[in-house]
Chains A and B, each alone.
Chain A
Amino acid sequence: MAQLTFREAIARGIAQEMRRDESVVFLGEDIGAAGGVFKGTVGLLEEFGGVRVRDTPISEQAILGAAMGAAMTGLKPIAEIMFADFFAVCWDIVVNEIAKSRYMTNGQMTFPLVIRSGNGGGLRFGAQHSQSVENWAMMVPGLKVVVPSTPEDVIGLMAASIRDPDPVIFLEAKALYSTKTEVPDGEIVDSLGTAKVLRSGSNATLVALGAMVPKAMKAAEELAGQGIDCTVVDVRSLVPLDTQTLLREISATGRLFTIEENPRLCGWGGELSSIVSEEIFYDLDGPIVRITTPHIPLPAADALEDMAIPSVERIVSTVNKSMNS
């Protein structure tokens, strides 16, 4: 066991897989000598050298195009898009090229690649460096979407994503980069499409993702003090989605609260609500409630950003109000 930060876990996860598989290569802006703008890739250039860890120009289309071309010809690239907002300048490569090409070619091509990116707010960077884009990625057929919430999950899900034969969008909550927890030594390999029940309660189920997971846990603690006993589920993987675990845990309490950092419209909680309504409607004891960032660009000022992104207080008060109405 060692204490590890979320950002150190990224480098450890990548290194674990690069040691194991020679065909894993890594490219992106400032990832090599600089160790990443969030210091998430420190030490990789030193260990694996400049042929496998390559700094690129500021050319997001070239980065992802290169990853795609390399993946279709036998490599397993990891590409970094520094801030998830920047997906907008290379979204064609993600959505039209990487996501569609296996289907269009009738399975002639396979794209074992991972695109990792710093996602979401909390760092007061303003609207163009703070958006949570998990809902952009989730709506695209052909992409897997993974969002870890702990250092241990970063390593295990990174390994699972790299070993997966399909394209994976791996979103790292920037707000979590400095969190530190105990992580077991040795190889850690998790599996995609598995949600995790972090806490079991009997009154309500809070379903959260990424940076919202620790907030949901804190809120659950406070709610317990107010007599509301909550289950907390960390979704971890939007595609594939572990609906079995989610539906089971939602049925068990009869109440669903989604806690989402993405702006409200077409957030992942909307899809989950629809699945729940169609499949376990009669198990519900009250309305589904979505707690999300409002449908606005994120403001920069700390006071304003804190109002926008779901907070522990907002979760507690929303759940409390809904449970007592």
Chain B
Amino acid sequence: MAYRLSFAMTALGNLLTTALDFVAILLMFSRVDALGGYGLPEIAFLYATSSTAFGLADLALGNMERLGRRVRDGTLDTLLVRPVPVLAQVAADRFALRRLGRIVQGLAVLGYAVAVLDVDWTAGKVLTVPVMVLSGAGIFCAVFLAGAAFQFLANDAAEVQNAFTYGGTTMLQYPPTVFAREMVRGVTFVLPLAFVNWLPGLYVLGRPYPLDLPRWVAFTPPLVAVACCALAGLAWRAGLRSYRSTGS
């Protein structure tokens, strides 16, 4: 009972904070009139796809943040002696249904954006929306996983990883022309996070790409997501092998 109540309350809380997130953008937009030349529905679309993708990844692997503590205090030992992969156990541990808040809210904004966007909805564009959300979720999962793997090396890495992912989503909620060219280049090539939302998003919106990238890059996110997950998986395995437990 207490759990159910706290679930409802945190879900509501999450909903409110993410809503505030969006309202902040809205306010800024109403002052500036157009943020980097993008209108409200377009920003809503970019925001909603990234937020939903992140919400999905967070639902699956958000618990990975707590792994750092387990690595430090050695309680990871208990997960390692069970016949189920550690990842599955961590994901299932207090399965964070409350994180549904972000997804629900992301989907709601997405619904709004799709309804009001002035876009010629070809089959390709319609298909791109779920694909970009899912591959975005895959990429965010890879980031969570890589962050978890990193925690085996650096003991106090939980904060670093948070800066990575949470900072990452905030940046993705703004259209790319706001940022300097070098920064965009870094985000596209160094952090494949941009695939979550910018390139396919711009394709859906019929906007030009930054850096004159070819049109087809809008369809690479699934491949990038798979590659990222594979790399992160390798890092995770290496991390587990270097786990040293604690004395006693």
Task: State yes or no: do A and B come from one complex.
Answer: no
